[in-house]
Amino acid sequence: MPQTPLDLTLDAAELTARLVDFPSPSGSEKDLADAIETALRGLAHLTVDRYGNNVVARTNLGRAERVVLAGHIDTVPIADNPPNVPSRLDEDGVLWGCGTCDMKSGVAVQLRIAQTVTEPNRDLTFVFYDNEEVAAHLNGLGHVAEAHPDWLAGDFAILLEPTDGQVEGGCQGTLRVLLRTKGVRAHSARAWMGSNAIHAATPILQKLAAYEPRKPVVEGLQFHEGLNAVRIEGGVATNVVPDECTVTVNFRYAPDRSEEEALAFVRDYFADCGVDEFIVDDHTGAARPGLTHPAAAAFMAAVGGEARPKFGWTDVSRFSALGVPAVNFSPGDPLLAHKIDERVKASLIPEAEERLRAWLTSS
């Protein structure tokens, strides 16, 4: 579809619609990164850098504190039936389209702040990055952190992840493991000649079904862990006893566990299940809420509401690893993220922008 330059003077909801109309599923963010870079380079108060399809813009006013506003520009794959791009605004003021919630409404808020807040009370860094919705090793924020960590330096960070207009502290870690059982292949008419690897996975599934989630309170916020099978693969043909089965398990864990502790828990939990191979497929750590930091406390006081835990994983984890306390905040509803009918109430987008602007311009 035709893609016009981004006009940062648009209302935040209109700007969100324009961002949605730039299709940017993970791995295809270049056009949107180009448009964002071009728009930001037109703002004289910002220094703009780019690394791959990641764009970083900064003020350099010598303020006592620096705040990082970060958001990913990729989305999950665009739906075909029904199509969820281009965007559409209905008669009830709801904006529909892929990425409206996660997280182009948040990115629109970033861009509006970048355009309108030329004399902030804190120096600002704006980060727009690619490949958040896919494997951790592809994550653009991680790439910037490795190549240019100085670009991400700050005293406090806000991830514009969907939070329904409330501050969400920290995030849970996510560990994905492959639990593989082995057997002996045989014709199903003479099954006794083999050993069924799918049947051998039964103890794994029984342990998963019996799992009781832990709900620890961390720095005043109650998290909720989860251990789930998310995929099972096995079988050669419909008349063959399978010699291999793989159960993919995802562990979402609270930020009072380290990555090493989370991995040790999962290994121990399945230790008596006859697992032949235990393979770590993907792992990114949790982040503590960080709400005790003075900047976080000031932000909470400015935007109001009651802090909640972030049950999903977000890149606050990466900022935490860099020593930068971070929270999540944006107008999108996390319960609507990644849905085919993804949507956001249009009026909430400029409202979130105004709350953030008030904090960054107050004396």
What residue has token string 């494997």? 135
Residue 330 tokens, joined = 């944006």
259 is catalytic: no
Residue 272 tokens, joined = 């008596």
What pairs with residue 77 in β-bridges?
Answer: none
Q: Are 212 and 224 in contact (CB under 8 A)?
A: no
Residue type, 82: P
DSSP 185: -
Residue type, 156: F
DSSP 334: G
| Burial group, residue 34, by CB count within 10 angstroms (0-12, 13-18, 19+) | middle
What residue has token string 């209302």? 11
Q: In the chain, which ranges are continuous DSSP H helix? A: 12-20, 30-41, 105-116, 140-147, 197-200, 202-210, 259-269, 294-303, 316-321, 348-361
Helix H or strand E encompassing 248 = strand 244-253
* Per-residue CA distances from 20 to 1, 11, 37, 358 (Å): 11, 14, 17, 26
**Among 37, 74, 123, 130, which one carries the catalytic annotation?**
74
Give dist(CA 283, CA 199) in Å, integer.
Answer: 28
Q: Are 315 and 157 in contact (CB under 8 A)?
A: no
Phi, psi of 279 (to 5 degrees): -120, 125
Q: Are 195 and 274 in contact (CB under 8 A)?
A: no
276 is catalytic: no
Q: Are 129 and 140 in contact (CB under 8 A)?
A: yes
Residues belonging to the active site: 74, 132
